[in-house]
Amino acid sequence: MPSSTIRITVNGAAHDIDAAPDTPLLYVLRDDLGLTGPKFGCGLGQCGACMVHIDGAAVHSCRTPLSAAARGPITTIEGLGTPEKPHPVQQAFIDEQAAQCGYCMNGMIMSAAALLAKTKSPTRQQIRSTLNGNLCRCGTHMRIVRAVERAASLGASQSGGSDE
Amino acid sequence: MSSTTTRRDFLKRTGVLVVGFSLGLHSRADAAVFETGAAPAANQLDSWLAINADGTITVYSGKVELGTGVSTALRQIVAEELDAPFEKIAWVQGDSDRTVDQGSTVGSQTIKRGGAQLRMAAATARAALLELAAPKLGAAPGSLEVASGVVRVHGDPSRHISFAELLGGKRFERTVNSAAVPKATTAYTIVGKPVHRVELPAKMTGRHTYVQDVKVDGMLHARVVRPASIGAKLLSVDDSALGAIPGARVIRKADFLAVVAPREYDAIRAAAAIKPAWSESATLPPMDELKQTLMSIPSTERGVASDGTSGAGRVAKRLAATYKWPFQMHASIGPSCGVADVRNGKATVWSSTQGSHTLKSAIAHLLGMQPDDVHVIWIEGSGCYGHNGSDDAAADAAVISREVGAPVRVQWSRADEHGWEPKGAAMVMQVAAGIDASGKIADWDYQVWTPTHSSRPGAQPGGEANFIAARLMGMVPSSRGSLGGERNAAHTYSVPAMKVRAHLLERAPLRTSSLRGLGSPQNTFANESFMDELAQLAGVDPIEFRLRHLSDPRAVAAINAVARLAKWTPRVSGSSRAPSNGVARGRGMAFVRYEGTEASVAAIVDVEVDQAQHRVRVTHAYVAHDCGLIVNPDGLKNQIEGNVIQAASRALNEAVQFDRSRVTSLDWRGYPILRFADAPDAVDVVLIDHPELPSVGAGEASTSPIPAAIANAIFDATGVRLRDVPLRV
Ligand code: FES
Ligand code: FES
């Protein structure tokens, strides 16, 4: 596909991207915008490592063509918070020490943040089923669920504002 | 041009953009060590740590962070021994030019061995700082104390001097004192505390640099195109479709095939667009004949244990069983990635390898270079759990970079990783034993058929043939013996007559290498399932049966601790439960003394078995764990929880599928791992701390008892004894 210029908004800033419209958003974020928080895990929509928010919904950026990514504001994990000022979900994951290698964390945190923005106090069952498409090989599942519950109790939903 | 300027210019030219590097590149008190290209000498104190002018302390660790938290635990050890503030310690790890070759980060040896080395270096440094401070403070070294990076006169803290004032930016210039006296563990203030993992804030906010995130100026993106089947030969490549993809080109060296392009998505498209023709053959056995295949491959017999004579005269009842374990994957969530810049006779390689120093030599031999012309910079990868594709991806990048004369990043696809990562070994275990009239084991005969659990690249010439790239370019790995299959083949119960033999296979249908625990989970699955079978035969509670055969007090303590934690009610397995709503519930236990002398781990699991849905779920797991001195209890718990879940996944879900020519488990549908819906409701861990005893490894041990505990729980629930992994009801 020949390239064309497509405007996307990421973490509040507009970018004109010159790339083939079928380029998966993941590579645009990582290679063109230097946002390497979203990770490549499978490219197949099977693992969740690549998740970002578009219009507040968690989506697989590996399966979202650039052309479709222009439909709404995009938030990456970098846009949620920083090491100095983490988003409540990120803070809860730190508090619970809910990672080992951390490669899956992008997907876990973006999934959880999207859930909590809509559902203030999810049940454990809701958390598990929301995260069921996110794979973790280190086996950090128990801590991740605890972290999401902690985030809910910290009121993570209130800061949905930073999520555009 | 001296090699010094070359290396510096080289680093400058490659213009590493990655954030995480900046910490490592500044602050060496004297850079002479890394200019030589050789690893720093282990006996020199300056090889291990530097006191910087700004009061920070840089530690150079040959052991690397693999996601298990060891870089935090090792920092605790150094901070403790040096009496330095934890947060002032900067960490450089796994850099072949700048860190001591402490051996690869494998086998749960990082705290035990690597930590011990760092402890001695820090103890030497602390003594040196006291010596330097004495004349400046006008006091004898014996009257000085160290606290928080400051040396002060005991009882007169106003007379003090900081580490930076004493030595900031200068070298120690002394050797590591192997007789240095480390602190008494009773004086520990930071070792033993649940210090938060240093890198987690960056990992949680998308700022941590993984090898997949490394970006070098002028870097091209590459994708490998692996053979259509194992051993296939490349006949031709039709690259006529590449004209439409900007800057894309094919790299071919014998059967090694790859594409490069300036943009990543173009490399992906190019890999799909070329049309290679392969000659294929059927090299694999039928999957359902795996057991017969393993037992008929030529092998060498190794005696693992042989004690006592047959108990034939005393045996009241006999039992024999065969257990099977399939090939499994590391299944890292991030497919392997390597970045290399090979130009002008020098190479820089960024890799998530477990062994930077070995990789450096192996890449040098692969490229026909001198080892000291190769610089390997370790960057954390996705968790690897052993020898995954990290080293192979680095070699791919090096080969391609040399061909194109530019830095190259190779990112494996999901199918590359699933299809071509080295696999955890399939094994067959046979046990036969007799029990006497009193319900004790009279004799025990164990045999295991196992391929090697190590095919890592080696540092010696020829060791590079283990890279996939080398094999595809026609090199043939020489046999380096078999490793790991005997791990925990011999259990640690006291039996009057015991014979344990390992049949070490000369080859295996699939390439095998280290996966967490090597042969220990397989052997422990067999030993501990069989212990339950014998307990059943004797009509005895499984815990009581084990305790009858144990004299090791730490083993007994671990088993009693887990029994208390789980509120175990003694009973003969399988005697108590009736299914409700079609779901049967059961409870099983297992124990291991890892490698016979390392951590003691006792586990109990509760399962629910839905036979109609063919579904087993571990609902609750309990672990008691003794690994000697605990450095970071929360990090240890995290590791144990992870091992429980990963081991449950391996026991219940996982078998690499293949047809007669290739691996067919090429994505997460073809190789499902445990998900949140299948996760336990709780994993409870009790840690048994022994500050008076040295730490032993904790990375792998708690994996081993879980599969048998699950099989024993399934038997308890259903009365069905499952002896083949994955355990299917
Ligand atoms: S990388 Fe997108 S779902 Fe796996
Ligand atoms: S923490 Fe390693 S994959 Fe989840």
CATH number of the domain to which A101 belongs: 1.10.150.120
Q: Work out the average pLDDT over A98-107.
A: 98
Note whether A129 and A69 are same-domain residues: no
Sign of the alpha-carbon dihedral angle for A19, A24, A27, A30: positive
Q: What is the pLDDT of residue A157?
A: 56
Residue A12 CB less than 6 A away from ligand 1: no
Both A93 and A154 in a single domain?
yes
Q: Each residue of B244-254: pLDDT tens digit? A: 999 999 999 99
Judgement on whether residues B358 and B441 belong to the same structural domain of the protein:
no
State chain A's mean pLDDT as an integer. Answer: 94
Identity of the residue in B213, B333, B380 whose CB atom sits nearest the CB atom of A137: B333
Closest residue to atom 3 of ligand 2, CA basis? A136
A143 interaction partners in chain B (CB closer than 8 Å):
638, 641
Please tell me whether residues A75 and A97 are part of one structural domain: no
Quick one: average pLDDT of B507-514? 96
Residue A115 shares a structural domain with residue A151: yes
In angstroms, what separates the C-alpha of A160 from chain B's closest C-alpha? 16
Is B468 within a domain? no
pLDDT score of B23? 33
Instruction: Pick the residue from chain B with its C-alpha nearest to A100.
Output: B67
Mean confidence (pLDDT) of chain B? 92
What per-residue confidence (pLDDT) applies to B112?
78
Q: Which residues of A touch B215 (CB under 8 A)?
A: 31, 34
Asked if the Cβ–Cβ distance from A41 to B414 is below 8 Å, we say yes
Report chain A residues whose CB lies below 8 A from the CB of B674: 139, 141
Out of A19, A50, A79, a domain closes at A79
CATH code for the domain of A38: 3.10.20.30
Specify whether B501 is located in the same domain as B568. no
Question: Is B49 inside a domain boundary?
Answer: yes
Distances in whole angstroms, Cα of residue A103 to Cα of each of B221, B602, B624, B703: 21, 30, 28, 21
B723 within a domain of the structure (yes/no): no
Residue nearest to atom 3 of ligand 1 (CA): A45
User: Residues B47-74: pLDDT tens digits?
Assistant: 999 999 999 999 999 999 888 899 999 9
Which of B142, B177, B201 is the last residue in one of the domains? Answer: B201
Distance from Cα A101 to the centre of ligand 2, integer Å: 5
Tell me which chain A residue has its CA closest to the CA of residue B409: A31
Do B299 and B364 lie in one domain? The reply is: no
Provide the shortest C-alpha distance from residue A55 to chain B (in Å).
Answer: 20
For A45, nearest residue in chain B (alpha carbons) = B668
The residue from A79, A97, A120 where one domain ends is A79
Ligand 1 and A30: CB distance under 6 A: no
In a domain, A164, yes or no: no
Q: Print the domain residue range for B529.
A: 520-718
State the CB neighbour count (10 A cutoff) for residue B200: 24
Mutate to test the interface with B, among A28, A39, A40, A91 (most CBs of B within 10 A): A40
Q: Note whether B291 and B276 are same-domain residues.
A: no
Quick check: is B87 in a domain?
yes
Residue B33 pLDDT grade (very low, low, confident, very high; cuts 50, 70, 90) = very low
Alpha-helical segments (H) within B428-586: 468-472, 520-538, 542-547, 553-566
Does some domain include residue B161?
yes
Q: Which residue spans within B594-720 are E strands per DSSP?
A: 600-610, 615-626, 682-687
Boundary-marking domain end, from B201, B221, B252: B201
- Is the pLDDT at B7 greater than 50, yes or no? no
Share of chain B above pLDDT 70, in %: 94
Two tokens, residue B70: 């060891």
- Position in ligand 2 atom list of the atom nearest CA A138: 2
Report pLDDT for A42: 98
Pocket of ligand 2 contains residue A101 by CB under 6 Å: yes
Which residues, 6 or more positions from B337, have their beta carbon under 8 angstroms from its beta carbon? B210, B211, B212, B214, B352, B381, B393, B409, B410, B411, B412
Q: Cα of A126 to ligand 1 centre, how many Å?
A: 21
The predicted model gives A141-148 an average pLDDT of 98
Q: Chain A residues with CB inside 8 Å of B383's CB?
A: 100-101, 103, 137-138
Q: What is the mean pLDDT of residues B336-355?
A: 96
What contacts B34, CB < 8 A, 6 or more positions away?
B7, B28, B40, B95, B97, B98
A163 within some domain: no
Report the SS3 class of residue B450: strand
Q: Are residues A75 and A92 in the same domain?
A: no
- B536 and B391 in a single domain? The answer is no
**What pLDDT score was predicted for residue B643?**
98
pLDDT digits (tens, 9 = 90+) for B694-711: 999 899 999 999 999 999
Q: Is the pLDDT of residue B145 over 60?
A: yes
Is residue B273 predicted with pLDDT exceeding 90? Answer: yes
Q: What is the pLDDT of residues B360-380, one digit of tens each?
A: 999 999 999 999 999 999 999
Give the model's confidence band at B312: pLDDT under 50 very low, under 70 low, under 90 confident, else very high: low
Q: Which ligand gives the minimal distance to the CA of A47?
A: 1
Calculate mean pLDDT across residues B150-173.
95
Same domain, A107 and A59: no
How far is it, in rounded angstroms, from Cα B240 to Cα B275? 9
* Residue B554 confidence (pLDDT) above 70: yes
Same domain, A66 and A122: no
Residues B235 and B357 occupy one common structural domain: yes
Q: Give the model's pLDDT for residue B34.
A: 39
For residue A79, give how far its alpha carbon lies from the nearest alpha carbon of chain B (Å): 9
Residue B88 lies in a domain: yes
| Predicted local distance difference test score (pLDDT) of residue B351 | 97
Residue B16 pLDDT more than 50?
A: no
Indicate whether B322 and B339 sit together in one domain: no
**For position B597, what pLDDT does the model report?**
94
B230 and B90 fall within a common domain = no
Instruction: Tell me the ligand closest to A24's alpha carbon.
Output: 1
A143-157, B104-118, B410-424: the lowest-pLDDT one: B104-118
Dump pLDDT digits (tens) for A37-77: 999 999 999 999 999 999 999 999 999 999 999 999 999 99
Q: Which residues in chain A have their CB less than 8 angstroms from residue B332's CB?
A: 103, 137
Model pLDDT, residue B481: 83
pLDDT of residue B12 exceeding 50, the answer is no
* Residue where one domain finishes, among candidates B142, B171, B201: B201
Q: In what order do the strands lie in the sheet with B144-147?
A: B144-147, B150-153, B156-162
Set of chain B residues whose Cβ sits within 8 Å of the Cβ of A105: 203-204
Strand pairing class (B615-626; B682-687): parallel
Same domain, A115 and A92: yes
Compute the C-alpha angle B404/B409/B413, nearest 5°: 120
The reply to whether B347 and B247 lie within a common domain is yes
CATH number, residue B447? 3.30.365.10
What's residue B71's pLDDT?
A: 93
Whether residues A154 and A85 fall in one domain: yes
In a domain, B311, yes or no: yes
Evaluate the omega torsion of the peptide bond into residue A65 and state whether it is cis, within 30 degrees of 0. Answer: no
Three-point CA angle B319, B325, B327, nearest 5° = 165
Q: Averaged over B718-728, what is the pLDDT?
A: 97
Inter-chain CB proximity B205 and A103 less than 8 Å: no
Please give the C-alpha separations between residue B681 and each of A124, B46, B63, B622, B645, in angstroms, as whole numbers: 10, 49, 34, 11, 11
Residue A18 in domain? yes
Does A73 share its domain with A103? no
**Confidence band of A154 (pLDDT split at 50, 70, 90):** confident
**pLDDT, mean of residues B672-683:** 98
Whether residue B528 lies inside any domain: the answer is yes
- Same domain, yes or no: A75 and A88: no
Reported as a pLDDT band with limits 50, 70 and 90, residue B113 is: confident
Q: How many CB atoms lie within 10 A of CB B238?
A: 12
pLDDT of B128 over the 60 cut:
yes
Instruction: Say if residue A1's pLDDT is above 80.
Output: no
Domain shared by B412 and B264, yes or no: yes
Least confident of A107-121, A148-162, B249-263, B383-397: A148-162
pLDDT tens for B541-552 read 999 999 999 999
Spell out which residues of chain A touch residue B679, defining contact as CB-CB under 8 Å. 128, 141-142, 145
Count of domains forming chain A = 2
Q: Are residues B307 and B376 in the same domain?
A: no
B20 pLDDT above the threshold of 90: no
DSSP tag of B213: G
Residue B463 has pLDDT above 80, yes or no: yes
Percent of chain B with pLDDT over 90: 87
Going by their DSSP bridges, the two strands B220-224 and B408-411 should be labelled as parallel
A47 CB near a chain B CB, below 8 Å?
yes
- A60 Cβ closer than 6 Å to some ligand 1 atom: yes
Q: Which of A31, A102, A133 sits opposite B203 (nearest CB)?
A: A102
pLDDT: which is higher, B142 or B664: B664
The partner residues of A5 in beta bridges, in order of sequence, read: A18
Domain co-membership, B270 together with B304: no
Enclosing H/E stretch for B485: none
Structural domain containing residue A44: 4-79
Query: Ligand 1 mean position to B526 CA, how many Å?
Result: 36
Closest CA to B117 of B141, B99, B131, B98: B99
- The answer on A85 and A62 residing in a single domain is no
Domain count, chain B: 4
Residue B320: CB atoms within 10 Å: 12
Q: Grade residue B576 by pLDDT with cuts at 50, 70 and 90.
A: low
B interface test, pick of A142, A143, A149 with most B CB neighbours within 10 Å: A142
CA pair distance A99, A93, nearest whole angstrom: 8
Is residue B69 within 6 Å of ligand 2 at its C-beta?
no
Q: Is A47 in the pocket of ligand 1 (CB under 6 A)?
A: yes
Residues B560 and B686: their CA atoms lie apart, in Å, by 11
- For residue B416, which of B325, B332, B350, B355 has the smallest C-alpha distance? B332
